[in-house]
Amino acid sequence: MAETPLHAAHDHIIPPRVYVLNLLALLALMAATVAIAEKVQFPAFWIFSGTFLNSAAAMTIACIKAFLVIMFFMHIKWSTNLTKLYAIAGFVWLSLLFITLGDYMTRQYEPAPGWTGKQESALPRVIGAHDHLPNDANEANLRPRQ
């Protein structure tokens, strides 16, 4: 196509064929996700359990469906760069939110190996820098543990 996509959404009208194909793709993906969930039990692979792989497959299909809806039904494919930026911004925030799972999911590993509660193992400090402090003051800097 020769025209620049910048103002294309306002200039040209998308043929309904695109929407029909998108609907068919979405329905096929929905059928696929139901079929996988009902009939397929993935075996464990590498560090992932079969349960995890089944969930990952369902979520991957959901993301593809979301992508199709956003691109074609919500016209992001033909929209201006500013609109694209706004559309992406929401999902960037969502991924930032889910990064905090890194905290929740690793709490079972605390206290970390080698974390004895002694001052020298908490943070890399100059050896002897806290020797003038009483012991309980050093302990107060550490996080409480069970």
Partner 1 sequence: MATAHADPHDEYSPLKHQYEDIEQQNECYTVGMWTFLVTEIMFFGALFFTYTLYRWNYQEDFYLAHEHLNVTLGAINTTILLFSSFTMVMGVHYAQLKDKLKVLGSLTVTMGCAFAFLVIKYFEYAEKFRDHLYPGANFTTDAASLHGANLNHAQLFFGLYFGMTGLHAIHIIIGILCIGTLAGMWAKGNKLVTEDYLPTEMIGLYWHFVDLVWIFLFPLMYLMPQPYK
Assess 119 for contact with partner 1 (CB under 8 A). no
Query: Per-residue x/- marks for partner 1, 46-85, CB under 8 A?
Result: ---xxx--xx--xx-xx--xx--xx-xxxx---xx-xx--
Q: Is the peptide bond before 111 cis (omega within 30 degrees of 0)?
A: yes
Residues in contact with partner 1 by the rule CB under 8 A: 7, 9-10, 13-14, 16, 19-20, 22-23, 26-27, 30, 33-34, 37-38, 41, 49-51, 54-55, 58-59, 61-62, 65-66, 69-70, 72-75, 79-80, 82-83, 86-87, 89-91, 93-94, 97-98, 100-101, 104-105
